[in-house]
Amino acid sequence: MGTPLLRFYAIRRSGAVLAGAFLMTWPALYNRYPLLYPDSMSYLEDGRLVARALFLHKFSADYGGRSFIYCLGILPFHWNVNPWPIVALNALLTAYVIWLAMRSVLPRQTVTRYLALILPLSFFTGLGWFVSLIMPDILGPLLYLSMYLLVFARESLSRGERLTLALIAWWAVASHVTHLILAGGFCVLFLALLAFRRSMRRWLGGIAEVAMIVLIAAAAHLALHAYLYGEPSLNGKRPPFLMARIIVDGPGRSYLQQHCRNTKLTICNYLPDIPNDVSEFLWNLDGIWQTASASTRERLRQEEEPFVLATLREYPREELFIAATNFWHQLISFDLGDYGPNRWVLDVFEKVLPGARSHYLVTRQAQDALPDDFSTSAQNWAVLTSLLLIGTLMPFIWRHRKPRLVGLTAVIVFMLITNAFVTGVLSGMEDRYQSRVIWLVPLLAGLFALELAGSSNSPRLQGRAGARKDFARKPFLLFGVGTGISGNRVNHSTIRGSLMGLGCA
């Protein structure tokens, strides 16, 4: 009898994960096609070029500026024919990692609680949108949840689950340079803390495992770029993001105006035409980077570091103030962005996905009919409500010694802050950068509420006053009201005020 019962529970758990994965894909299903961003086309196209060089030894002069490992990873799921399997992969990986994270905190009645958590996350946050998007954006949050599991909840994982998580984390780290920077920063911070707090040394094994994953991912990048370009590199032939950022900020432009008469920097040739927007500088078809020749691009890349350092030496306070402002704006900017039609996507569609352009033209994205504004309002309400809920319940979590929830909170807070810093300061500010991780806040709030509800049913708490039972229900009411939903968009100043009120700002 034991084996059939275990098999039944395994099927039930697998069914819950599959159901959660299906719920997450609603934006793609509603759109009738996976969501595409201009960068999506590069990821879909570049994998073929890299695979041809690796397996057929047919090299190209340029393989694009995206993560080659991510491009190669998704290639078997689309073969430049059909991107739907990538959405399925995103959904299954996301549903599985969230299942493990929730089970580590709430090991009882997991299926019911899992579905109760996934449903509002899928429909009232950006989770479903990033699962449905052909981009590595969803892999960032999966990496951070995997890091929590490998460090703070290792004992909740079987050997097979740990191996699977390590593979997911490795691919996520290697899929975007931002993920590499954030995971590396996490390891450095916690290793530094270990030197001062002996109580944290029980997590040394997990931190060492995450650090090894980061090092292996970095080594893979170095080896692949060395093979393709003849020299090791973490980024390959990437655009000069820092150069564009520091010029658009103002100090870089001032430096050029002061020194272009006496210096031979290539960027000086473009000084009168430099725009006031990073995206225009890098991505406009008639912009500086897109119109530059291959030799000019190489010179701009080589001159980027000395130019940035010289500007920082000459204008340190100005750039520090601007960087702090950019960081703050990025931290509180997490609209879902514009998922409308894009001319460049249409222009390259036949080249990237031959024969599929007609399928894309009938999508709601191509017709600018997606409910992205509504979903942005929903997410803003969900985040505001979640911040209030976390602030209310954190004393309970701390008092009742819930180390895993505290560890998950530490990971999420660290990643939200460092993600805003890395993207806002080192790249151009864009709502999508913070939106891809902000859904972790409602996830955390949901786990807080479910933990409190579970604790209220324990024998120790059942004998307490009925007021405590009413209090246990309030988080669900608050979470439901906040996500369930008003058509009015939450002003970011409201969320900023809540952050400050909770001591999170």
- Residue 9: inside a domain: yes
What are φ and ψ of residue 95, in 5° steps?
-60, -40
For residue 84, what are the domain limits?
2-154+337-501
Please state, in angstroms and rounded to a whole number, the distance separating the CA atoms of residues 357 and 369. Answer: 18
The CA distance from 312 to 306, in Å, is 10
- Reference 475, options 453, 443, 503, 490; nearest CA is 453
**What value does the mean pLDDT take over residues 30-57?**
93
* Residues 494 and 360 grouped into a single domain: yes
First to last CA, the chain: 55
**Residue 206 and residue 192: Cα distance in Å, rounded?**
15
Asked whether the predicted pLDDT for residue 455 surpasses 80, the reply is: no
- 387 and 276 within one domain: no
Same-domain status, 287 and 400: no
**Exposed, middle or buried: residue 230 (CB in 10 Å: 0-12, 13-18, 19+)?**
exposed
Same domain, 41 and 143: yes
* Shared-domain flag, residues 348 and 272: no
Q: Who wins on pLDDT, 276 or 122?
A: 122
d(CA 195, CA 183): 19
Q: Are residues 302 and 440 in the same domain?
A: no
Question: What pLDDT is stored for residue 198 in this prediction?
Answer: 66
SS3 63: coil
Domain final position from 314, 349, 372? 314
Task: Choose the weakest-confidence range: 254-268, 318-332, 438-452, 453-467.
Answer: 453-467
pLDDT, the chain, mean? 86
pLDDT mean over 59-87: 91
What length does the chain have? 505
What is the mean pLDDT of the segment spanning 14-32? 96
Residue 120, pLDDT > 90, answer yes
Interior angle at CA 363, CA 359 and CA 366, nearest 5: 105
474 and 368 within one domain? yes
pLDDT given at position 147: 96
- In sequence order, the 6+-apart residues with CB closer than 8 A to the CB of 23 are 118, 119, 122, 123, 128
Q: What is the pLDDT of residue 285?
A: 76
Q: Are residues 290 and 403 in the same domain?
A: no
Tokens matching residue 190: 């916690």
Residue where one domain finishes, among candidates 251, 283, 314 = 314
Return the closest-CA partner of residue 433 out of 242, 173, 178, 249: 178
User: Does 177 fall in a domain?
Assistant: no
pLDDT of residue 458: 52
Enumerate the H helices of 332-402 as residue ranges: 343-352, 357-361, 372-399
Same domain, 293 and 404: no
Residue 457, pLDDT > 60, answer: no
The secondary element (H helix, E strand) that includes residue 457 is none
What tokens appear for 251 in the block? 């100090």
Give the total number of structural domains in the chain. 2
Q: Assign residue 401 a region: left if phi > 0, alpha if psi is -120 to 50, beta otherwise?
A: left
Q: Is the pLDDT of residue 139 over 50?
A: yes
d(CA 116, CA 225): 44
Task: Say if 327 falls within a structural domain.
Answer: no
Amino acid letter at 262? N
Q: Which residue has the higher pLDDT, 308 or 1?
A: 308
